[in-house]
Amino acid sequence: MKIKAAMLALAFVSAGCGNSAPKKKYSFIHGIVDFLPIDKSANILIYTINPNDCISCLNGFKDYNGQLYHSANLCLYVISVEREVERKALEKKITYLDLRPQKNKSVIWNKNVFDSINYCTKTNLPLTTAAVYNFQHDSVLFAKPVREITDVREISEALSKKP
């Protein structure tokens, strides 16, 4: 009788609580966004920025970012820098306000995060890129290097897309 009860308990555990069922594997982006003060109920705009990119790409990023009114807690900026000394030097020089630390936006300074996000969005090149990501479905709805985007509406349409 005792054995039967134990078996039953085990069956409940495996079926109901799902402890032994395989866990859903989330993407790298999910893991990053999870810990940021970003509104996870709506589509999130992610810019991965290479500060050494060509001037047209950097201006393209600034142009799109300026045109898209986007709440601070729906946007993530990832800047590709490798060393702390580079980060400090760039932070001092950056004149583009949205990336300044005191702007209280989600800005990550890290080349590995830059590379991993571009890998997840299948734009795995060291280029400044705009991506639209849905946290709830852990899915990338749009991703393109800025140099390939013809019009800001490509991004805004992706932002209003349902996954």
Partner 1 sequence: MMKQRFLLLFVICFLGACTREASSYQFDKPVKVKVDESTIVLTGFPARLQALNDSTAGMIVNQRYLSLYDLNSGKNILNFSADKIDFDSLLQATYQQHYAGQRNYLYDSSAAGGLTNGSCQLHSFYFADNKFYIYANAEVEVQYINDSAKLAGSMKDPKVQAVQQQYGNAEFHFMEFAEFMFVTDEHLRLQKIIPSYPSKSLDLHQATAMYQLAFAADEGSLYSFLIPKGDAYQDMRSPIDAGNQFYSVAKIPQNNPESAEFLFSNKDVDYKDFSVKDYYSNTHLFKNSKSGLCFLTGKEIYLVGNGKPVFAKGPLPEDEWINSFFDHDNHIVMTTTAIGKKKNPSKMDVAYAVDSVTSRKIRVYDKTRKSWTCTHELPLSLNTEFDITRDKVIYLEKDKDNYYFTSILYHED
Residues of the shown chain interacting with partner 1 in the complex, contacts defined by CB under 8 A: 49, 51-53, 55-56, 58-59, 62, 81-83, 85-86, 88-90, 93-96, 99, 122-125, 150-151
Report the residue number, 20 or 95, with the smaller CB distance to partner 1. 95
Question: CB of 52: closest distance to partner 1 in angstroms?
Answer: 4
**Which C-beta is closer to partner 1: that of 62 or that of 70?**
62
Q: Which is nearer to partner 1, 19 or 102 (CB)?
A: 102
Choose between 122 and 162: whose C-beta lies nearer to partner 1: 122
Write a three-state SS string for the chain.
CHHHHHHHHHHHHHHHHCCCCCCCCCCHHHHHHHCCCCCCCCCEEEEEECCCCCHHHHHHHHHHHHHCCCCHHHEEEEECCCCHHHHHHHHHHCCCHHHCHHHCCEEEECHHHHHHHHHHCCCCCCCCEEEEEECCCCEEEEEEEHHHCCCHHHHHHHHCCCC
In whole angstroms, the minimum distance from the beta carbon of 103 to partner 1 comes to 13
Work out how close the CB of 62 gets to partner 1 at its nearest, in angstroms, rounded to a whole number.
Answer: 8
Is the Cβ–Cβ distance between 134 and 105 less than 8 Å?
no
- Minimum CB distance to partner 1, residue 96 (Å): 5
Least distance in angstroms from the C-beta of 1 to partner 1: 57
- The span from the CA of 29 to the CA of 33, in Å, is 6
Whose Cβ is closer to partner 1: residue 38's or residue 49's?
Answer: 49
